[in-house]
Structure 1
C-alpha cells in the first residue's frame, strides 16, 4: 500500500489540491460578491490573494507537521467557521469546509486503523469507558429509530451525533504530545478573536453573513451580532465557553503585552455578548468566574483580581458612562425577565421556554424513560405539544433534549461523563507543575463550568461544533495526562 504521507507530499498532488481549493473558493467569492460593486470585489479578491500568500509563507512549517495531525488541525480550524463562511449546495445537503475536511478525515483514519495500528493503539487509550459510552450512545440512537415517529429527523440527528462523537475519537487517538494540545489551544484562541471581531462588525455596521437570521429581521434588530452562526444564542454560548480559555491564557502567560491583548479580547467579547440578549449566558459567565476565582486562583491572584476589577470598573464608568449604563440596564432587564418582571416580550420568551421543558418532560414520561427517539423532540413539539410554544419546535435546552430524545440511561451517562470530566480536569490542574498544563486544564475547566448553563441557550446543541470540540479537547487531554502519568510511574529508575 502507498504511504499516505508520501502521497500528499507529491508535487502533483499538492498542485491538484491547490487548484481545487482555488477553484472552489474563487467561484464562491465571484458568486457571493456583487459584480456591480467593484470596490467590494477588489477587496474580496485582495483578501483571497493575501490568504494564499499566508499559505505559501507557512508551507515550510506545515510540512513539518504529520499529515494526520495537519488534517486534524484543519478540521478543528474549520469547525469554528461551520457554514458561515462558505456553503456549497450539493443535492439535498450543503458542503462547507468542515464537512469537506471531515470527508477526507474519515478514510484517512480508516487507513491508519487497517494498515498503521501502531498509530491508532487502543491499548494506550486510558479513557476507554468514556469512548464506550459514546459508542453506546450512537448504537442507542440508531436503535431508537425503530420507534421514532419521524425517521428523517432521527436520521439527521444521528448523523450530527456521529460527526460530533467521531471528533472525540479522532483527538483521543491522534493527539499524543503536549505540543499538539498547545496548537489546538492557539487555534481556539485565534478563532475566538476572529469570531469576536466579526460579531463586533455585525453590531457596528449592521451587516451580517448570509447564514445569519438577522438578515431577515427589522432594521432596529440589525445590530444583534451572530458572527458565523445562524442566531445570536449560538454565538453567545460560544463566547461563554471560549471566554475561559482566554482568561486562563491571561492568567498564566508571563508577557504583559499578551496579557493586555487577552484582556482586551475578553472585554470585547463581553461587550459583543451584551447585544445578543442571551440571558442564560449572562449567568453562565459569572458562574464560571466564581468557580475560577474560588478554586483556580491563589490568594495573591485573588487580591490582584479584586483590585484590578475595581480599577477597571471605575475606568469604564468614568470613560464610557453612557454606554456602560446602557449595557448594565440591558443586562438587568434580561436577568429581571427571568423572574417575570421584564417586558411582556421577555416574559413571553421565558414562558415559552418553560413550556418547552414541560412538554419535553411529558414526552419523556410517556416514553417510559426510553426517550422518544433520536431527533424527534421537534416532531413531537409540532404535533403533540400540550403546552403552547407559539410555533417554536426546538427544546432550547441541551440537557432536556438528551433526556427527551435518548432517555434516562443516556442522560444519566452524559451527566456522569460531564461531572467526571470536570473532576479529572480539576485533578490535572492541582497536580500539574508546568505553565501549559495549568493553562489548558484551567481554561477547559472554566469552559466546562460555563457550559452547564450556556447549553440551555441555543435551540439545539447537537449540530454546534464547539460543543463536541470542548468535550473532545477535554477527554483527549485527560487521556494524554493519564498516559503521561503512567509512563512516569513505570519508568525504570537509574
Structure 2
C-alpha cells in the first residue's frame, strides 16, 4: 500500500497539481476574492505543489543523476548570487521581494525538468490553447464594452478600447500574445493533429490575436510578432511552409474581400494608421517633450552608470528601482523597462553573460532537436520562435521578474529538452 502511494504521488498526483498550477498561472490574481487578492489560485496550487514535492523527496529521495546539468547549475548559481548581493544592497526590503520572485520561478523551472518523465507535452499544449482562447474572449469583451477586470490598471491610465485581459496593463498582455502565439500556430498547422476543432480553434486564435495585439499599441511586441513569424517560417520544414503559405493565402483573400466590400467599416485603415504612428514613434527622440524613447535612453544610461559604480557586480536584487528613484526627475520611470538590462544592472556582468549563454544554449539544443527528433520538432521550432521574440518583447513590460508567463517559457524549454533526452535514453 505504501509503495502504491509513493508511485501514485510521483507519477499521477504531482503531475496533476503541476498542470493546475500551470493553468492557473495564466490568470494571475484575478482568480481570487478581491479583498484577498494576494491569495489567488496560482499561489494556492503552487504551495500545494511544493508540499507534495517535499513529501515525495522524503519518501522517494532525489534523483540527482539526471538533474545535474548546465541549466541546473546556472539557475541555482543565479539564485545563490542574488542572495549574496544582499551584502551590498541598499534596500533589503526590495531585495527580499525580488529574491522571492526569482527563487520561486527558478524552482518552478527546475520542477518542470525534474518531473519531465511523468509530464506530457500534449497536456501542456491543450492548456496553452484553452488559456489563449479565454484571453482572446476577454480581450474582445474589453474592446467592445470598454470594461476591464478588477486587476487591470487600464482605467487608471484612462485608455479606451485597449485590452489587458488578466494582466495589469496592455504591454504585458501583448508580450503574452507574442510569446505564446508560436504554440497556437503549431497546433493550427500540425498535420499530425487530426482534431478538427483544435486545429480551427488554433487557426482562429492566431488570426484573432492580431487585432488585439494592434490595439495594445505595444511597439516592441509589433516587432516581436514579426520576428516570431519570420523565425517560425524559416525553421519549419517544406511541408509546413506550404501549409503556412496556404493559410496565409486564405487569410489574405478573406481580408481583401472584407476590405473590398468595406465590411470592416474602416477598421483596416485605422489599424494601419495606428501601426504607422507607433512605429514612427520609435524614431522620436524629442528632448523637449521627453518622449518615451528619450526616457528609455536615460534609463539605460543611468542604469549602466549605477552598474559601473558597483564595479559591475550588480546593484543587488531588486535594487535598480531604489537607485533609479534618485534620478526620477529625469527619467519619470523608475523601472528599467528592459528585462535584460535589469538582469545586468541588478545581478552584474557575470550573471548577465551566463544568462545569455544559457539562452543560446537552449536555442542551440532546440535547433539540433528539430532535425533529429521528429516528435518534438514542431515544439522545438515554437520554443525557438518564442525565445527569439522574447529578446525584443521583454523590453515592453516593466516588471518581467513578476511575469509568470515569461518564466513558463523557460520551464517548458527545460521540460522539452529533458523529454528529448529521455526518448534518446540519455537520462
Q: Same fold (TM over 0.5)?
A: yes
> What residue number does 2:295 align with?
352
Does residue 442 of structure 1 match 2:371?
no
Q: Per the alignment, do residues 102 and 2 of structure 1 end up closer, same or farther by CA in structure 2, a change over 3 Å counting?
A: farther
Q: How does 1:1-40 map to 2 (within 5 A)?
A: 5=5
Q: Deviations over 1:374-394 (max 9, x none)?
A: 001111111246x8112x111
Write the distance in 1 (CA, Å) between the matches of 2:378 and 2:11.
Answer: 23
Q: Per the alignment, do residues 412 and 169 of structure 1 end up closer, same or farther by CA in structure 2, a change over 3 Å counting?
A: same
Structure number with greater Rg is: 1
- Among candidates 214, 231, 237, match of residue 291 of structure 1: 231
- The range that moved more, 366-375 or 101-110, is 101-110
TM-score normalized with structure 1 length: 0.79
Q: Deviations over 1:135-191 (max 9, x none)?
A: 1111111110111111101100000001100101111111215x6122112111211
Q: How does 1:282-431 map to 2 (within 5 A)?
A: 282-298=222-238, 300-303=239-242, 305-306=244-245, 308-320=247-259, 321=264, 322-340=266-284, 348-384=291-327, 388-390=330-332, 392-431=333-372
Write the distance in 1 (CA, Å) between the matches of 2:272 and 2:285.
Answer: 16
> What residue number does 2:59 align with?
115
CA contact (8 A) 1:5 1:67 kept: no
Write the distance in 1 (CA, Å) between the matches of 2:5 and 2:169.
Answer: 40
Can you give the 5+ residue segments of structure 2 that lack an aligned partner in the other structure?
Answer: none
- Among candidates 225, 228, 231, match of residue 163 of structure 2: 225
CA contact (8 A) 1:398 1:455 kept: yes
Write the distance in 2 (CA, Å) between the matches of 1:98 and 1:3.
Answer: 30
- The range that moved more, 148-157 or 306-315, is 306-315
Q: Per the alignment, do residues 325 and 88 of structure 1 end up closer, same or farther by CA in structure 2, a change over 3 Å counting?
A: closer
Q: Deviations over 1:75-109 (max 9, x none)?
A: 1111111112325656xx81111111111111211
> What residue number does 1:26 align with?
none
> What residue number does 1:21 align with?
none
Secondary structure (helix, strand or coil) at the match of 1:69 reads helix
How far does residue 339 in structure 1 lie from its aligned partner after superposition?
Answer: 1.5
Return structure 1 stretches of 4+ with deviation > 4 angstroms. Answer: 1-6, 87-90
Does residue 151 of structure 1 match 2:92?
yes
CA contact (8 A) 2:164 2:173 kept: yes
Q: How many residues align?
A: 419
Write the distance in 2 (CA, Å) between the matches of 1:79 and 1:461.
Answer: 14
Secondary structure (helix, strand or coil) at the match of 1:330 reads helix
Write the distance in 1 (CA, Å) between the matches of 2:406 and 2:126.
Answer: 17
Does residue 213 of structure 1 match 2:153?
yes
How far does residue 261 in structure 1 lie from its aligned partner after superposition?
Answer: 2.5
How far does residue 4 in structure 1 lie from its aligned partner after superposition?
Answer: 9.7
- Among candidates 71, 85, 109, match of residue 17 of structure 2: 71
How far does residue 315 in structure 1 lie from its aligned partner after superposition?
Answer: 2.6
Write the distance in 1 (CA, Å) between the matches of 2:137 and 2:406.
Answer: 21
> What residue number does 1:135 align with?
76
Write the distance in 2 (CA, Å) between the matches of 1:350 and 1:384.
Answer: 17
CA contact (8 A) 2:129 2:202 kept: no
Write the distance in 1 (CA, Å) between the matches of 2:293 and 2:143.
Answer: 25
Write the distance in 1 (CA, Å) between the matches of 2:142 and 2:397.
Answer: 19
TM-score normalized with structure 2 length: 0.91
